[in-house]
Amino acid sequence: MPAWGEPLPAPAKLNLFLHVTGRRPDGYHLLQTLFRFINFADTLIFSPREDGAIVLETPLPNVPAEKNLALRAARLLQEKTGAQGGISIWLEKQLPTGGGLGGGSSDAATTLMALNHLWQTGLSCQELQALGLSLGADVPVFILGENAFAEGVGEQLTPVALPPAWYLLLFPPVEADTAAVFRAPELCRNTPPIQAMNWKSGRNDLEPVATALYPAIAEYLAWLRLRVGEDKGRMSGSGATVFAECPDEASVRALAAEVPSGWKWRIARGLSRHPLTF
């Protein structure tokens, strides 16, 4: 169980595939994807305040505090439950902004789960997921806490057991704009739905748009696929992070040794579930 002042992880996710299967009348896209957690994370610390205020003590450069999803999540939970306590939030960012790794959504989920316990608001996992969905489509899977096959706008979740794996992550020097990718008229929006068991045959429908908008993503992806195969180099979410799965640590380190000088990269291990298991 989390405690006041304890560093708490907000792990990244990878989309092992992502299909856009339709679009709702309200404009939201219908998706199918497989979320996998990895051991690469932001860290949050929560401390109580006596004045009832919710304060982000570590604002991010060039990001208004009001857009920070951890801050918004805390205020939303306070509003919905009537919790009286104030909170100071310290956020140590490791996950890149615009990286397709779910950093902001994961921050929001960790905030909701932690404060639900610390404030003793007593919301169920399903109630927290409903709150999280109003903040972002990726938030519910982090609250579920398991790798999952997702449908709808990302809220219809089926847990999936995935084997151990290691990943090489490459970080092109761009921040991908998710909204711009989804707005693109050329985006494929009618991929036929697949069964969860067939996810390995999937692709990322956002990739053609993202690589056209951000040539650096195309460059990094091409380098990766030249070494691991066309079907094994992937882009996560709407970018910019690209990755390849390896069966063991030795093989991922061998691949990492080939990364061009000056490129940002990281090795990560796949997780069986979210590290916050309370």
Catalytic choice (42, 138, 205, 264): 138
In Å, the largest CA–CA distance within the chain is 57
Residue 272: its pLDDT value, please?
Answer: 95
Which amino acid is it at 14? Answer: L
Task: Please count the other Cβ atoms lying within 10 Å of the Cβ belonging to residue 246.
Answer: 20
Q: Which CATH architecture is the domain 166-269 placed in?
A: 2-Layer Sandwich (3.30)
> Phi first, then psi: what are they for 199, rounded to 5°?
-65, -25
Catalytic choice (13, 42, 107, 205): 13
Q: Calculate mean pLDDT across residues 155-182.
A: 97
Q: Residue 98 pLDDT more than 90?
A: yes
With cut-offs at 50, 70 and 90, classify the pLDDT of residue 1. Answer: confident
Respond yes or no: is residue 13 known to be catalytic: yes
So where are the chain's domains? 8-159, 166-269
- Write out the CATH class of domain 8-159: alpha beta
Retrieve residue 84's tokens.
């009286």
Q: Considering the chain, what is the average pLDDT of its residues?
A: 96
